[in-house]
Amino acid sequence: MMEPTLSPAEVRVVVIGTLLALFLSALEQTIITTAMPQIARDLGDFSLLSWVITAYLLTSTCATSVFGKLSDFHGRRLTLIISLGIFMMGSALCALANGMTFLILARALQGIGGGGLVTIVQAIFGDVLSPRERGRYSAYFSLVYGSASVFGPSLGGVLTQYVGWPWIFWINLPFGLIALATADRALRKLKVRRQDAPIDYTSVLVLCCTTVAFLIMVSLGGKELPWTAPQTLALAGTALSLGSLFFWLQKRSPAPVLPLRFLADRVLGPLLASNFITFGTFLAITVLTPVYLQVALSTSAAEAGLLTIPLLVSTSVSSIFAGRYCRQHGRYKLPPLLSLPFAVIALALLAILADQVTPVTAAALLMLVGLGVGPAYPSSSVAALNAVEPTDFGAISGVLFFVRALGSAIAIAVASAVVLGLSSKALPGITASVEDLVRTELPPDARGIVARAFGSMFGATAAALLIGLLIFVGVEDRQLRDEGSVPVGSTPE
């Protein structure tokens, strides 16, 4: 006899609560951008300012895979409580910071909780939703991130100007408590699947050290440190050595953080590789588009923000339609196969016309990019959860977000290096970073040079998306399983 499942009303409550938690994590990556100058002025140290963002990136990337595995062992509810607690504690310490070093450490703590939230929400969706419903609700992931990208900088600017920058952190506390209270009661009914093998904490530590070394290398390389500097090469060697050790440990671990069978699976192997390229490339485009609009096309910061909205909104719209397709047809592969070519074509056109298009035309082409990439969000999540047993929902969710985060770090570094490298040859001495392009007053002919440099970047991203599409072709299109959400057992969390 089958055990009962969560009622539809309880599922909706869980979804609302967990999406609110996810929104807080996503918002924290964008709301701080407009507050950075004021934070530096108040805390008196501009030299460490970039580490306020880098610290969050480092720890949140490490946390994605670790918390996913922890939730498989200790249950979603307990891990969600711990992640939200760490996130809110980090937020409170950020708000109370009286020095830049203290703020950076607090942001690192906040990132641990934020990275955990991203993974756990995906795993909870796998638990409480049937395979067909996961596509519909996974589309809300991109809607949440799109909303955070659109409203985060504006909200951060308003709070900083009228009540002070600490409130960009204080705001997380009441909403975090609301998110937890909303989802907690229903999550108590979820069964904890106890596993006999202990968590491989040695592999967890090695993975975190590998990730930190690698992300510091790509964060500093080409900026504070030349790519050929001894420190950069030492970081690269450390990351490579520790990464090799991690995979050696995974082959021998009874409870691996990254089960190597994932890589051999005909769905998960190509899916993870495609996500690494596709989502990393898309985030690089999202990050660098405002710079392109301001520097190459001479728009103001406010205009660039408005012109970026179609890119973000179109991603959410197309992901929702793809999620509905998964629900209706029980398949996940077709939407990205049909949509990604439009993104490739739009980027190729931007590569050719980068120094000729108007801002509105550029925004329209970027909107096509968003429409093309959007369906990959729900389709990838649905395919990944459908390919594993419920005991691995946390592990595969963590791995999926981990490869996306690593891909994003690499793609942003490479795309920035392309733009800066081509710009600095013609404009020596004024392009130490992408931010320098925005801060520097450039003559019209120099703007044309930068526009063509961005054209090369758009061409490279078009090629990367094409590779991601070709890899995605190899993903096996399995029928979604018919079982419902995870049964509610007699052993509550």
What are the pLDDT digits (tens) for 247-283?
898 888 777 777 888 888 899 999 999 999 999 899 8
Q: What is the pLDDT of residues 16-44, one digit of tens each?
A: 888 888 888 888 877 887 787 788 888 87
Q: Which pLDDT value is given to residue 483?
A: 55
pLDDT band at 91 (very low <50, low <70, confident <90, very high): very high
Q: Determine the average pLDDT of the residues in 135-158.
A: 78
Q: Is the per-residue pLDDT at 432 higher than 60?
A: no
At 304, the amino acid letter reads A
Q: Is the per-residue pLDDT at 161 higher than 50?
A: yes
Evaluate whether 86 touches 137 at the Cβ level (below 8 Å): no
Query: CA-CA distance, 463 to 480, in Å (whole number)?
Result: 31
> Of 154-163, 232-241, 419-428, which gets the smallest average pLDDT?
419-428
Query: CA-CA distance, 385 to 395, in Å (whole number)?
Result: 10
Residue 391: Cβ within 10 Å count: 12
* Alpha carbon separation from 271 to 12, 132, 268, 344 (Å, rounded): 28, 18, 5, 18
Tell me the domain boundaries of the chain.
1-195, 200-254, 259-479
**Domain spanning 259-479: which superfamily?**
MFS general substrate transporter like domains (1.20.1250.20)
pLDDT band at 486 (very low <50, low <70, confident <90, very high): very low
Q: What angle do CA 464, 57, 232 make, to 5 degrees?
A: 75
Q: Which fold has domain 1-195?
A: Growth Hormone; Chain: A; (1.20.1250)
At 348, the amino acid letter reads A
Q: Determine the average pLDDT of the residues in 325-347.
A: 91
CA 248 to chain centre: 27
Q: Which pLDDT value is given to residue 358?
A: 92
Evaluate whether 281 touches 290 at the Cβ level (below 8 Å): no
Specify the DSSP class assigned to residue 478: P
Same CATH fold assignment for domains 1-195 and 259-479: yes
Q: Which pLDDT value is given to residue 3?
A: 40
Q: What is the pLDDT of residues 368-404, one digit of tens each?
A: 999 999 999 889 988 988 888 877 887 888 888 888 8
Query: CA-CA distance, 212 to 223, in Å (whole number)?
Result: 17
Q: Which residue has the tokens 């009874």?
A: 254
Tell me what the pLDDT averaged over the chain comes to: 82
CA 145 to chain centre: 9
* Alpha carbon separation from 427 to 390, 430, 446, 484 (Å, rounded): 55, 6, 7, 59
Query: CA-CA distance, 475 to 267, in Å (whole number)?
Result: 5
Evaluate whether 392 touches 193 at the Cβ level (below 8 Å): no
3-state secondary structure 272-321: HHHHHHHHHHHHHHHHHHHHHHHHHCCCCHHHHHHHHHHHHHHHHHHHHH
